[in-house]
Amino acid sequence: MVATPIGNLADITDRAREVLGSVEVVAAEDTRRTGKLLQALGIRTKLISLHGDSSARRIERVVELLEHGDVAYCTDAGSPEVSDPGATLVSAVRSSGHSVSPIPGPSALTAALSVSGVESAGAVFLGFLPRRKSRRREALESAAATGLPVVMFASPRRAAALAEECVVVFGEAARLLVCREMTKLHEEIVESTLGEAAGLEVLTKARGEYVLVVGPGALAVVEATDAEVAAAVRERMEAGSSLRDAADSVAAELDVPRRRAYQLGLKPRE
């Protein structure tokens, strides 16, 4: 599993160069991109395609090739197994009795953390978040609850919207680091807060790869509205609880005063 540059070709390691030039075959997420890398390195190793939509038969083909010699796998950029079929490939190769070795190198995750200025014993990496809004919110809230910085990948189309969603979960005061086109000619690294994200020009660019670092991940406290408290009390009363018991339960669950829950439970449904 060979890590390749995330932008600047000079970041290729000597070991990666040696491996790519010595294996029998290089399997690549995008043969066009990896082909340009090999051409720049003066390497003529045979290339085959292995991307997210590849069939199981293509995985089997790589396993078959291992019977005759070593095979290298490259993602589009950076270290494999992030938003690519690397994990499926590794599992299949190990199941067939072959070994898997990492050839470490560039990574957008560690590159962004190295310039974040966030002091922490670790970080939560979410990669590209789910497309469904409810699942994104769930992932963000779980990550924020750890109290660790959170690292996310985003496309140019989603970067600004993702920062806006983070405001609701992390709060306006949370630190935000926007990394665009890291190691490339038009690299931009901008530090701000989530509350200022809406005015950041760097988030409006139509092109580029984005990495967002939010941290530390302190979960923002969003107070329940009167309507939400009243609905929760009514729901418990309809299930058979007394007003007193329903108010006690809702107050504990939503972290609101018991008196408020009780009084809202007395009001007629609007």
The domain spans of the chain are 9-95, 108-215, 226-266
Residues contacting residue 190 through CB under 8 Å, at least 6 positions apart: 177, 178, 180, 200, 202
* pLDDT (tens digit per residue) in 186-223: 999 999 999 999 999 999 998 899 999 998 754 455 67
In angstroms, the CA 189 to CA 211 distance is 10
pLDDT digits (tens, 9 = 90+) for 34-83: 999 999 999 999 999 988 777 788 889 999 999 999 999 999 889 987 76
Helices (H), 51-132: 56-65, 86-95, 108-114
> How many residues are recorded in the chain?
270
The pLDDT tens digits of the residues spanning 219-256 come to 455 678 888 899 999 999 999 999 999 999 999 888 88
The CATH superfamily holding the domain 9-95 is Tetrapyrrole methylase, N-terminal domain (3.40.1010.10)
> Which residue do the tokens 């990666």 mark?
16
User: So what's the pLDDT on residue 150?
Assistant: 95
Distance CA 140, CA 143 (A): 5
Average pLDDT across the chain, whole number: 90
Q: Is the pTM of this model over 0.85?
A: no
CB distance 170 to 219 below 8 Å: yes
Q: Is the dihedral of CA 98, 103, 106, 107 positive or negative?
A: positive
Q: What percent of the chain has pLDDT over 70?
A: 97
Do the beta carbons of residue 212 and residue 154 sit within 8 Å? Answer: yes
- CATH fold label, 108-215: 3.30.950
- CA–CA separation, 89 vs 101, rounded Å? 12
- DSSP secondary-structure letter at 219? P
Predicted local confidence at residue 256, as pLDDT = 87
For residues 32 and 38, give the distance between their C-alpha atoms in angstroms, rounded to a whole number.
10
**Fold equal for 9-95 and 108-215:** no
